[in-house]
Amino acid sequence: MLVAGAALAERALYLRVRAQAERDEARAAQAIVVFGAAEYNGSPSPVFQARLDHAFDLEERGLAPLLITTGGSGGDPKFTEGGVGRDYLIQRGVAATKIVAETASHTTYENVQAATRLMRERRASSCIAVSDGFHLYRIKLMFASQGITVYTSPAPASPIESDPIQRPLHSLREALICGLWHLGIR
């Protein structure tokens, strides 16, 4: 009975993860927060580039005056995801004064904590979170726990979301992690 209940709870979480992944809530906010992904020797990975390109489009639409790029070094002695994201957006034409790079975090939880701190320093309490769709349900939970109003906006060109094998695998992983989050395990 307990196993069946746990299986049903995980299924419900999986469905929530997928429902959030399909929902684009982008609207006017005080910041756009781009969640880091891998960078390769100073260039964003295809997954990270899709996120950055989507954030660029949202900024071009005038939805927020501030962009926050997140992510630490991931073991790279020269570059960080946040720094690479900032540089990429500047190269695309976003004013450097509009971008803050958070460069110390290594997990989604740390990304949210750091972005919340940076937003509060700037008296911002709402953001558009940009990541792959499968990632957004958890991000929304974490920002809400910090008292931040968050609108999620999935990167439409995500290589993961367009892959019929990767999408369900990443979504299942997220459902499991969200289950742990609901149990208070971060």
Question: For the whole model, what pTM was predicted?
Answer: 0.94
Average pLDDT on 87-109 reads 97
CA atoms of 29 and 43, how far apart (whole Å): 28
Determine how many CB atoms are found less than 10 A away from the CB of residue 44: 23
Give residue 137's pLDDT. 96
Residues present in the chain in total: 186
Q: Is 109 exposed, middle or buried (0-12, 13-18, 19+ CB in 10 A)?
A: middle
The domain spanning residue 61 has which CATH number? Answer: 3.40.50.620
Instruction: Pull the structure tokens for residue 46.
Output: 């295809």
Residue 141 domain boundaries? 24-163
Give residue 83's pLDDT. 98
Query: Residue 59 domain-assigned?
Result: yes
Q: Closest Cα partner for 14 from 139, 149, 147, 170?
A: 170
Query: What are the residue ranges of helices labelled H in 34-77?
Result: 46-60
Query: Residue 182 domain-assigned?
Result: no
pLDDT > 80? residue 3: no
Please tell me the total count of domains within the chain. 1
Are 51 and 131 in contact by the 8 Å Cβ rule? The answer is yes
pLDDT in tens, 101-133: 999 999 999 999 999 999 999 999 999 999 999
Average pLDDT on 144-154 reads 97
Give residue 5's pLDDT. 63
Are 128 and 119 in contact by the 8 Å Cβ rule? The answer is no
Give residue 4's pLDDT. 67
Of the listed ranges 7-11, 34-38, 116-120, 167-171, the one predicted with least confidence: 7-11
